[in-house]
């Protein structure tokens, strides 16, 4: 097949230029969406009488046959035809003759590629949302299984207060909930039909864009043909959502890496998701979690790559937009694989409940509870904070825990302290004493679990 612009040119395109400008080596993954969009376009052309119905049906039949041949691996794409659109059109013309050339009536590669990307991202966004939900369900199961297990909560990576392990796990679930909602919201911007914008100014043919939108399941239709062919906001928004998601996965991975160290010993990672050392026989390395953390950088890079491509583009279509696909494809692949592997890894994690409790009992983690106890006894909080701080310093100098101090020792700091203080110094009493909505008390965590289950159920009905 000759290049579609040969009527204007006397000479041939340089082989070097062909190699430099081709995109079929990576946009071939769009073939299914390209055929889906072309079938809808052909149906519309026949319905509107722009081409006769016999030719429309012949084109549709040929496209369906091409889809089967591509699926079976029988067809090979040609680089000299640049992209997936020209390759499929060339195959169609070879298969059904010149009638195949009628398919491109009333459209351009500019609106065609915009359609393909939107169809692709719409499907992949749905898949990512499903993977997030699956991971949330795994986290919910872990939270329910370890409902009353205690662990130290941290700020500045220093032991802060006792919390329930289930409460900590549910914090991951909340991160993912926001990620899921962002992708769901982005779907509204992805789900807009650009086909019909043609090259830039629309077309003189009496096309029916509403009919095409219905065939392809689009909820909205682009309102400006110039914007339709040059817009990649939806792709940047998707990449931004992905960057947020991978950031959260990286934070989770970082905790798994820390918790699996000999210094923490909070968890044991499943052997199936760790590796050994080529030199040190004793090692069990958290390589999978480390790779999730490492892949975060490439997703960030993909977002900034497309932002940079777009920042200087005048309206409307420019060939620079060909550079939107690799960042998108790489991000989709990376995010899906990270979600899948993270979910599977979590299912095999063993929590060291004894170690978690012991650590929650150390480091003066109930000092805040002591300060709040003094407030209830009538001291202003700042005064209670100071008194508790001096008690902690006293303990540090004598290598004692808070609950190892006698009442006589405690009364040196405040006569308001009585025997009932000791119940406040146990980590299990600390978490039970929390009253605020969203806190780490067992009753609040049970409510959070119920609420989380409801939100996951609501997502299924959308």
Residue 97 has what DSSP assignment?
Answer: G
CA distance 372 to 392: 15
Do residues 295 and 374 touch, judged by C-beta distance below 8 A?
no
Cβ atoms within 10 A of the Cβ of 95, count?
17
Cβ-in-10-Å burial (0-12, 13-18, 19+) of 184 comes to middle
CA distance 132 to 116: 24
Do residues 315 and 230 touch, judged by C-beta distance below 8 A?
yes
Give strand pairing partners of 158. 155
HSE at residue 201, side-chain half, CA atoms within 13 A, is: 1
CA distance 41 to 44: 5
CA distance 317 to 313: 8
Phi, psi of 350, rounded to the nearest 5 degrees: -105, 125
Do residues 210 and 216 touch, judged by C-beta distance below 8 A?
no
**41 noted as active-site residue:** no
Which one of the listed residues 14, 25, 130, 277 is annotated catalytic?
Answer: 277
The closest alpha carbon to 244, from 302, 182, 289, belongs to 182
Do residues 198 and 106 touch, judged by C-beta distance below 8 A?
yes
Which tokens go with 28? Answer: 């071939």
Count of residues for the chain?
A: 462
Residue 323 has what DSSP assignment?
Answer: G
**361 noted as active-site residue:** no
Which one of the listed residues 156, 278, 430, 441 is annotated catalytic?
Answer: 156
Residue 378 has what DSSP assignment?
Answer: T
CA distance 421 to 400: 16
CA distance 268 to 274: 10
CA distance 180 to 148: 28
CA distance 450 to 165: 16
Give strand pairing partners of 161. 153
Catalytic positions, please?
156, 277
């Amino acid at each position: 097949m000759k290049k579609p612009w040969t009527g204007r040119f006397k000479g041939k395109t340089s082989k070097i230029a062909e190699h430099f400008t081709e995109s079929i080596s990576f946009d071939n993954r769009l073939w299914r969406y390209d055929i889906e969009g072309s079938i809808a376009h052909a149906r519309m052309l026949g319905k509107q009488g722009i081409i006769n119905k016999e030719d429309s049906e012949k084109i549709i039949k040929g496209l369906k046959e091409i889809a089967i041949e591509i699926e079976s691996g029988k067809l090979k794409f040609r680089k000299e035809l640049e992209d997936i659109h020209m390759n499929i059109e060339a195959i169609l013309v070879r298969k059904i003759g010149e009638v195949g050339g009628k398919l491109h009536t009333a459209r351009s590669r500019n609106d065609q590629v915009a359609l393909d990307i939107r169809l692709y991202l719409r499907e992949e966004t749905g898949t990512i949302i499903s993977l997030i939900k699956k991971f949330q369900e795994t986290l919910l199961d872990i939270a329910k299984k370890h409902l009353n297990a205690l662990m130290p909560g941290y700020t500045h990576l220093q032991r802060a207060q006792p919390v329930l392990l289930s409460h900590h796990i549910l914090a991951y679930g909340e991160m993912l909930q926001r990620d899921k909602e962002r992708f769901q919201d982005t779907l509204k911007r992805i789900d807009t039909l650009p086909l019909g914008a043609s090259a830039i100014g629309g077309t003189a043919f009496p096309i029916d864009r509403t009919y095409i939108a219905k065939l392809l399941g689009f909820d909205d239709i682009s309102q400006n043909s110039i914007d339709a062919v040059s817009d990649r906001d939806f792709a940047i928004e998707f990449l931004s959502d992905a960057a947020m998601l991978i950031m959260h996965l990286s934070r989770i991975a970082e905790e798994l890496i820390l918790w699996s160290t000999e210094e923490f010993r909070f968890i044991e990672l499943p052997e199936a998701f760790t590796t050994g050392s080529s030199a040190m026989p004793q090692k069990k390395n958290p390589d999978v979690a480390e790779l999730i953390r490492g892949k975060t950088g490439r997703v960030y890079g993909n977002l900034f790559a497309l932002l940079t491509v777009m920042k200087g583009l005048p309206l409307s279509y420019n060939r620079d937009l060909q550079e939107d696909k690799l960042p998108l494809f790489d991000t989709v692949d990376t995010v899906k694989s990270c979600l899948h592997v993270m979910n599977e890894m979590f299912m095999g994690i063993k929590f060291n409940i004894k170690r978690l409790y012991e650590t929650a009992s150390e480091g003066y983690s109930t000092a805040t509870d002591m300060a709040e106890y003094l407030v209830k006894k009538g001291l202003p909080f700042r005064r209670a904070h100071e008194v508790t701080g001096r008690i902690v310093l006293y303990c540090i100098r004598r290598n004692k825990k808070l609950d190892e101090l006698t009442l006589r020792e405690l009364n040196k700091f405040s006569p308001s302290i009585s025997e009932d203080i000791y119940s406040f110094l146990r980590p299990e009493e600390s978490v039970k004493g929390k009253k605020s909505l969203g806190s780490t008390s067992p009753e609040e965590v049970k409510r959070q679990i119920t609420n989380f289950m409801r939100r996951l159920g609501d997502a299924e009905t959308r």
